[in-house]
Amino acid sequence: MAASSSSSLCPNRALSVSSSSRSRHPQLTSLLRLPASTSSISSASRISFDSRKRNFAVRASAAPVMDHSTSASSSSPAVPTLVEVDLGNRSYPIYIGSGLLNQPDLLQRHVHGKQVLVVTNTTIAPLYLDKTIWALTEGNPNVKVESVILPDGEKFKNMVGVMLSFVPWETLMKVFDKAIETRMDRRCTFVALGGGVIGDMCGYAAASYLRGVNFIQIPTTVMAQVDSSVGGKTGINHPLGKNLIGAFYQPQCVLVDTDTLNTLPDRELASGLAEVIKYGLIRDASFFEWQEKNMAALMARDQDAFAYAIKRSCENKAEVVSLDEKESGLRATLNLGHTFGHAIETGFGYGQWLHGEAVAAGTVMAVDMSYRLGWIEDSLVKRVHKILQQAKLPTSPPETMTVDMFKSVMAVDKKVADGLLRLILLKGPLGSCVFTGDYDRQALEDTLRAFSKL
Ligand SMILES: NC(=O)c1ccc[n+]([C@@H]2O[C@H](COP(=O)([O-])OP(=O)(O)OC[C@H]3O[C@@H](n4cnc5c(N)ncnc54)[C@H](O)[C@@H]3O)[C@@H](O)[C@H]2O)c1
Ligand SMILES: [Zn+2]
């Protein structure tokens, strides 16, 4: 039986160039310079997107950024690519490039007060904490930088619960303890240095401490660089479901130093690619086609391929977030495969599978269901399998998952409205999707049975 619900189409990248947007962001205007020597690297693109007569314009940009204080000599640092998240007076830049942690000005221009708290973990601290502190303080001795080094792991994002023996709520408290002990004031800045777990937790701490302090993201995993650091979703997990406790809280900037990927384990690298593939499937067919040709290069950690994949992913996310910051419809489409994926993460136990691995299996399930509904061609199902296999990602859930495990977690999904589970499903040609509760329930049942035990 088909249930009724609103559905929201994913707009494709029907874009036109606008020249007026830069003037709306004076802080960015001062950063954007397009000298002849760099304009060929990546010409500035300003995108104006009239989405179904919404009464605001949306603009995302990708342009090389030059700092006025650094001259364009042969010893100049590499010019980062800029993607702008356009949210009116809460707009912020994403800087992408190699060696950006060697450019102190990029970070320092976004630190307003004199106190900074860097939040990181035991794996990342030995690799990048000193460098980050240097970037925050070089030529700026008035800034006092404190750091808090948390235990590593997804499980530490979980709140304490009767089912769990560890006490991760205390992990979040460590951030607050440090901030209070070191008398961080309202003008302080919290810096998240790490993957999605650190970013989500630090962002939530920044949103709550003194009812909100400045926040900067320095993402160090593919997952965080292409997805979690952008868009302002912060939070921690509850034993009964992922990301149920959280806040929308936008950073001052996101600094993506692609060199940090050099130390990332292969499995973590592949996990992030699940989100890259997602952007292609839901809204960017040509990006998906690019991925089909370049997956081997990405798996071989080709720097140029990665820089492009991160830029294009951030552009896609920036556009969606600019249109629908608080997830009233369109933004939900970024969760392709996540409803099934969260059930795997929760049912199988946080930390057993990486987030991107669960999303990959969940994407296959969403694609299977889309096909059962007659909404996509068989050839697309095959292409999704192939690209996930190339990225060494799973194409089915763990064997221990049962239909009931899926159903019990899906019942508390945030996308349930009036008792109806809305899903992101592919519909039409590559790059098109819907967020809808209007589907044949039997197709969902059949997909669950096809991919899990009774
Ligand atoms: N807020 C959002 O919009 C959003 C979007 C997607 C995912 N997420 C969340 O992100 C989390 C997953 O993030 P993740 O995949 O980055 O996991 P993670 O933060 O746990 O990092 C993965 C592992 O890699 C290590 N690591 C990080 N950077 C490293 C580096 N450069 N070199 C070596 N090791 C490094 C970490 O210490 C950790 O052990 C999930 O909790 C997911 O829910 C949030
Ligand atoms: Zn995700």
339 lines ligand 1 (CB under 6 A): no
Ligand 1 close to Cβ of residue 325 (< 6 A) = no
**228 touches ligand 1 (CB under 6 Å):** yes
Q: What is the pLDDT of residues 255-299, one digit of tens each?
A: 999 999 999 999 999 999 999 999 999 999 999 999 999 999 999
The closest ligand to the CA of 125 turns out to be 1
d(CA 363, CA 389): 13
Q: Is the CB of residue 447 below 6 angstroms from any atom belonging to ligand 1?
A: no
Is 223 near ligand 1, meaning CB less than 6 Å away?
yes
Q: Which helix (H) or strand (E) element contains residue 268?
A: helix 266-283
Q: Which of 246, 192, 248, 200 is nearest to 219 (CA)?
A: 192
Q: How far apart are CA 207 and CA 235, in angstroms?
A: 10
What's the pLDDT at 24? 32
What's the confidence (pLDDT) of residue 454? 77
Which regions in the chain score pLDDT beneath 50? 1-74, 159-167
Among candidate residues 144, 62, 57, 131, the one with its CA nearest the CA of residue 100: 131
Which residues are catalytic, by number? 211, 233, 275, 317, 327, 331, 335, 338, 342, 355
The 8 Å CB, 24+ separation contacts for 85-89 are: 85/60, 85/230, 85/231, 85/250, 85/318, 85/321, 85/322, 86/21, 86/25, 86/58, 86/59, 86/60, 86/318, 86/322, 87/250, 87/321, 87/322, 87/325
Q: Would you state the pLDDT for residue 156? A: 53
Tokens of 147: 């750091």
**Ligand 1 pocket: which of 123, 171, 221 to mutate (most atoms within 8 A of CB):** 221
Residue 235 CA, closest ligand 1 atom number? 1
Q: How far is the CA of 362 from the centre of ligand 1 (A)?
A: 18
pLDDT of residue 322: 94
* Three-state secondary structure call for residue 235: strand
Q: Is the CB–ligand 1 distance for residue 157 below 6 Å?
A: yes
Atom 37, ligand 1: residue with shortest CA distance = 123
Residues with Cβ < 8 Å from 117, sequence gap 6 or more? 145, 146, 147, 148, 175, 178, 179, 182, 184, 188, 189, 190, 191
How many Cβ atoms sit within 10 Å of the Cβ of residue 72?
Answer: 12
Q: Domains of the chain by range and CATH?
A: 1-74+266-454 (1.20.1090.10), 77-264 (3.40.50.1970)
Please report the pLDDT score of residue 16 as a whole number: 25
Say how many Å lie between the CA of residue 137 and the centre of ligand 2. 33
